[in-house]
């Protein structure tokens, strides 16, 4: 057991070294004479060599030694790092990473795990998260059926099957059975896997990505709880906190069940005149709020911690296509729900690949058109009220709407008459049609006609929207707009017709009882303390027949600090909900973020004030 603990620590530290080395070497590519970066890379290669030799990983120690020697020669000759040397160093990192995966899987026995459950509908997503997390932490999760994307959308059957490499099957079974709702766990040894080792490593790497996104805490016992401190420029800096993961599991177990119970209790207390019940309700609300605050802080992660991996991807792709491309990431400190980051990885990869393959021109073509030989892809993340916004922009050749329409007609996706009736702005969204591609031949990374269609579907499934803007010759900008959190949000519940709709409280400025409606050029307005506020009937915007008089105005704030008011017939009150993905039938519905269940058990749709008007 002691050896296993040392191995787990070793694998964790080497993976940290690999991530750090990737960043350092990509920075050295832009600043090849930076001695501080060279020395830091040398130090890390030396650490990998020493740690690997101690634990008996001789092959990794040998690869790290080659990288160390190469950097020592650079240092002694006082020369700068060129592309050839940089490629060698990056190849050493890839070799270490691949060999690490081989050893990690080889040292464990592989089992088929069958998990039976009777999860409640509203808790399925949380429970499936706990299953995946348990499998990935105690063992090495190679595959899971249903796939991760289906489980994370709430499609959780009563039987889940996983293939896991693990040392301690009893510990795995024990921890799975601790998850409330799991009725039984079967474990069957596998003599032979149905896929090769490289596929297993790729699946393992995918789980590592998921792990980085959904949690900043690491597994360990109370004795392992502590901190890592780096010595930088003679000052101590706390760089990482190691927390017992059981506390996170407990929070996730409790919060989903308690939020709904708290809301229902609040509704019951309102209808009963009992001081004792009110006291219990206040106490419970305080406890649940404390749990919520902690879990939300754990779920938030700066996008820079994840999107940094795209720098290496852009470098490798630009090399493959003989292009010069810089990736600029802005808003790296913008913190967002891990669930959103997890879901965003694939869409962002698709968009970046399209920018490299379709958008950015070759250096010679760019120079001929009066541009810099090096193209730029810029990722900018920021928040707007209750929304998380991600702009992905390139300075390439742009999308020609005429070419797109012609291609769509040739492929039989739309008729000639429909194409002629389309505006240029509408034509840009043809690239999101299933099967559409401008490529005559399929390349390694594009041309299959599924990329942007998958991106649009994924974003809309999360209650978001996709905005495409492009200028021929100047470039393309794709904006992804998503709710800032896929977890708990506070809402204002209003009545529209006979249905309850919800507005995120973070978008609401105030509620005003309507006294007088004024009209300017036929459009309704109101005077709010000397400020003119444009009014919109929420029932008209949603296409709902409203017989009752609209007596209230909900003042909300949109982008650029613009304020306007929604006319509604009644204010139901405030509530707290867990955001749920839309059913397939409603995905992409204009003006709505998602759906949920209120404290009284009634369904509600959450309004997206940023896109409704």
Higher pLDDT, 462 or 117: 117
Helical pair 309-320 and 2-30, crossing angle rounded to 10 deg: 60
Helical pair 338-354 and 197-214, crossing angle rounded to 10 deg: 120
- Provide the pairing of β-strand 603-607 with 499-504: parallel
pLDDT averaged over every residue in the chain: 78
Q: Which domains does the chain have, with CATH numbers?
A: 2-106 (1.20.120.160), 109-215 (3.30.70.1110), 245-301 (1.10.287.560), 345-483 (3.30.565.10), 488-612 (2.30.30.40)
Given a cut of 90, whether residue 610 has pLDDT beyond it is no
Given a cut of 90, whether residue 119 has pLDDT beyond it is no
Which range scores top for mean pLDDT: 208-217, 294-303, 353-362, 495-504? 353-362
CB burial class (10 A; 0-12, 13-18, 19+) of residue 496?
Answer: buried
Q: How far is the C-alpha of 114 from the C-alpha of 135, rounded, in Å?
A: 12
Across residues 292-309, what is the average pLDDT?
77
Helix (H) or strand (E) holding 115: strand 109-117
Lowest pLDDT segment from 22-31, 168-177, 388-397, 589-598: 589-598
Higher pLDDT, 181 or 202: 181
Reported as a single tens digit per residue, the pLDDT across 32-57 is 888 888 888 888 998 888 888 877 78
3-state secondary structure at position 171 = helix
- Tokens in use for 214? 């959904």
Higher pLDDT, 186 or 212: 186
CA angle (464, 469, 473) in 5-degree steps: 150
Spatial strand order of the sheet with 465-471 comes to 325-330, 375-384, 387-394, 475-483, 465-471
Q: How far is the C-alpha of 372 from the C-alpha of 359, rounded, in Å?
A: 14
Residue 156 has what pLDDT? 86
Sign of CA dihedral 583, 588, 590, 596: positive
Residue 324 has what pLDDT? 92
pTM of the entire predicted model? 0.56
Across residues 164-193, what is the average pLDDT?
84
Lowest pLDDT segment from 422-426, 477-481, 550-554: 550-554
- Residue 458's pLDDT band, with cuts at 50, 70 and 90, is confident
Given a cut of 80, whether residue 10 has pLDDT beyond it is no
- Residue 235's pLDDT band, with cuts at 50, 70 and 90, is very low
Reported as a single tens digit per residue, the pLDDT across 333-372 is 888 877 778 778 888 988 999 999 889 999 999 999 999 9
Given a cut of 60, whether residue 201 has pLDDT beyond it is no
Higher pLDDT, 323 or 270: 323
- Tokens in use for 577? 């909900």
Residue 541 has what pLDDT? 87
* Tokens 């999101």, located at residue: 432
* Tokens 């902690």, located at residue: 294
Lowest pLDDT segment from 106-115, 215-224, 330-339, 495-504: 215-224
Given a cut of 80, whether residue 382 has pLDDT beyond it is yes
Residue 111 has what pLDDT? 87
């Amino acid at each position: 057991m002691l050896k296993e603990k040392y191995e787990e620590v070793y694998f964790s530290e080497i993976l940290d070294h690999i991530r750090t080395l990737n960043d350092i070497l990509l920075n050295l590519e832009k600043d090849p004479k930076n001695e501080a970066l060279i020395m830091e890379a040398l130090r890390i290669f030396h650490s990998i060599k020493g740690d690997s030799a101690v634990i008996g990983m001789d092959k990794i120690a040998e690869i790290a030694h080659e990288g160390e020697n190469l950097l020592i020669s650079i240092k002694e000759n006082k020369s700068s790092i060129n592309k050839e040397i940089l490629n060698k160093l990056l190849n050493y990192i890839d070799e270490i990473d691949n060999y690490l995966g081989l050893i990690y899987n080889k040292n464990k026995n592989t089992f088929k795990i069958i998990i039976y459950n009777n999860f409640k509908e509203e808790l399925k997503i949380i429970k499936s998260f706990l299953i995946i997390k348990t499998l990935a932490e105690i063992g090495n999760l190679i595959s899971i059926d249903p796939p991760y994307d289906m489980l994370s959308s709430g499609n959780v059957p009563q039987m889940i099957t996983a293939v896991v490499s693990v040392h301690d099957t009893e510990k795995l079974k024990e921890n799975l059975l601790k998850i409330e709702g799991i009725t039984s766990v079967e474990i069957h040894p596998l003599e032979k896997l149905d896929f090769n080792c490289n596929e297993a490593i790729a699946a393992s790497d995918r789980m590592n990505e998921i792990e980085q996104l959904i949690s900043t805490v690491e597994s360990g016992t109370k004795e392992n709880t502590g901190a890592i401190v780096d010595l930088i420029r003679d000052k101590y800096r706390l760089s990482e906190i190691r927390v017992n993961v059981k506390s996170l599991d407990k929070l996730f177990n409790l919060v989903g069940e308690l939020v709904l119970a708290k809301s229902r209790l609040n509704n019951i207390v309102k209808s009963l005149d009992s001081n004792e019940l009110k006291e219990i309700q206040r106490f419970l609300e305080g406890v649940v709020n404390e749990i919520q605050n902690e879990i939300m802080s754990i779920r938030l992660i700066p996008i820079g911690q994840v999107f940094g991996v795209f720098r290496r991807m852009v470098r490798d792709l630009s090399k493959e296509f003989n292009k010069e491309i810089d990736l600029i990431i802005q808003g790296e400190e913008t913190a967002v729900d891990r669930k959103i980051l997890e879901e965003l990885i694939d869409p962002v990869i698709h968009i970046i690949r399209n920018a490299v393959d379709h958008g950015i021109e070759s250096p010679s073509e760019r120079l001929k058109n009066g541009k810099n030989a090096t193209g730029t892809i810029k990722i900018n993340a920021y928040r707007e009220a209750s929304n998380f916004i991600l702009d992905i922009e390139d300075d390439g050749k742009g999308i020609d709407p005429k070419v797109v329409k012609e291609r769509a007609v040739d492929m039989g996706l739309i008729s000639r008459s429909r194409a002629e009736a389309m505006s240029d702005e509408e034509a840009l969204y043809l690239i999101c049609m299933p099967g559409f591609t401008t490529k005559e031949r399929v390349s390694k990374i594009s041309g299959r006609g599924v990329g942007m269609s998958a991106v649009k579907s994924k974003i809309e499934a999360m209650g978001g929207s996709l905005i495409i803007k492009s200028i021929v010759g100047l470039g393309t900008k794709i904006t992804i707009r998503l709710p800032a959190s896929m977890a708990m949000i506070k809402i204002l519940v209003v009545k529209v017709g006979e249905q309850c709709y919800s507005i995120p409280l973070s978008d609401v400025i105030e509620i005003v009882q309507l006294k007088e409606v004024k009209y300017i050029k036929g459009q309704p307005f109101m005077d709010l303390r000397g400020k003119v506020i444009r009014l919109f009937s929420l029932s008209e915007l949603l296409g709902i027949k409203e017989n009752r008089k609209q007596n209230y105005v909900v003042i909300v704030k949109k982008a650029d600090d613009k304020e306007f008011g929604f006319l509604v017939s009644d204010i139901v009150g405030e509530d707290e909900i867990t955001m749920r993905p839309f059913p397939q039938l409603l995905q992409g519905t204009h003006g709505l973020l998602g759906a949920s269940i209120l404290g009284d058990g009634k369904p509600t749709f959450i309004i997206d004030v940023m896109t409704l008007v």
